[in-house]
Each structure stands twice: as structure tokens, then as C-alpha cells.
Amino acid sequence: MSEEVKSFVDKLAAGDNAGAGDAFKDALRVKVGQTLDNHRKDMAGNLFNQSNTPIPEVEAHSDPKPEVADIGTFTQDGQVEPTGAEAQPETPEVSNAESQSVNTDATGV
């Protein structure tokens, strides 16, 4: 028995009801405090040591990263020309004016 409980019983036996009430409150306060301390210790010990609790699945928190394309070289007009296996031979574009035949005959002047 704790000192607070002994004091409570002694005061009740002596007929000191007001003193017994105070002793009861003290005994109850000590008992609740000890129980809370024990519970805090248990919680602190088990907070990071949860070996019997399964670890929940972790969901991805962002979109998957895109694949990085092979590097290329910049052309004069700011376009990217692929290099390596993706490179294709470039065919120059011929404008309509260039595709018409040019008369080099001086007689037509």
C-alpha cells in the first residue's frame, strides 16, 4: 500500500472526513500519474518498434520520370537534329521555284 492510501485509511478511521477526502484525492492523483507514465513508456517503446505490424504499401508520390531521348545537335534554324541510331539522312527540301527549269538561252532575252 502506498503512503497516500495509508494516510487516507488513517484519516477515515480517525473520523477526519475532510482530511480523508484530501488524502483520497492525493492517492488517486498518484495512481493515475503512475498509470499514465507506464502507458507513455509503453507507447514510446512501441512507437518505432512495430515488428508485428505489417508495413503498408507505399504509393508513388509523383508521375514516373520520362525517358530521356538521345542527344542531338541544334541546326541553324533552332531545330534538333538527332544523332546516333535515330539519325536519318536528311533530304533537302526543294521549293517550287527551284524545281522549274531555267532557260539559259540568250536568244530569249
At residue 106, the pLDDT reads 59
> Which domain range does residue 19 map to?
3-47
Is 42 within the bounds of a domain?
yes
Phi, psi of 76 (to 5 degrees): -60, -35
Counting the structural domains of the chain, the total is: 1
pTM above 0.85, yes or no: no
At residue 30, the pLDDT reads 92
DSSP 89: P
Q: At what angle do helices 17-47 and 3-14 cross, to 10 degrees?
A: 160
Phi, psi of 10 (to 5 degrees): -65, -40
Is 34 within the bounds of a domain?
yes
Alpha helices, H only, the chain: 3-14, 17-47, 96-99
Is 26 within the bounds of a domain?
yes
**Cα 94 to the chain's mean position, in Å?**
55
Mean pLDDT of successive 10-residue segments in the chain (109 residues)? 86 91 92 94 81 66 74 81 64 58 59
Angle at 36 between CA 32 and CA 42, to 5 degrees: 150
Is 8 within the bounds of a domain?
yes
Is 76 within the bounds of a domain?
no
At residue 74, the pLDDT reads 81
Is 38 within the bounds of a domain?
yes
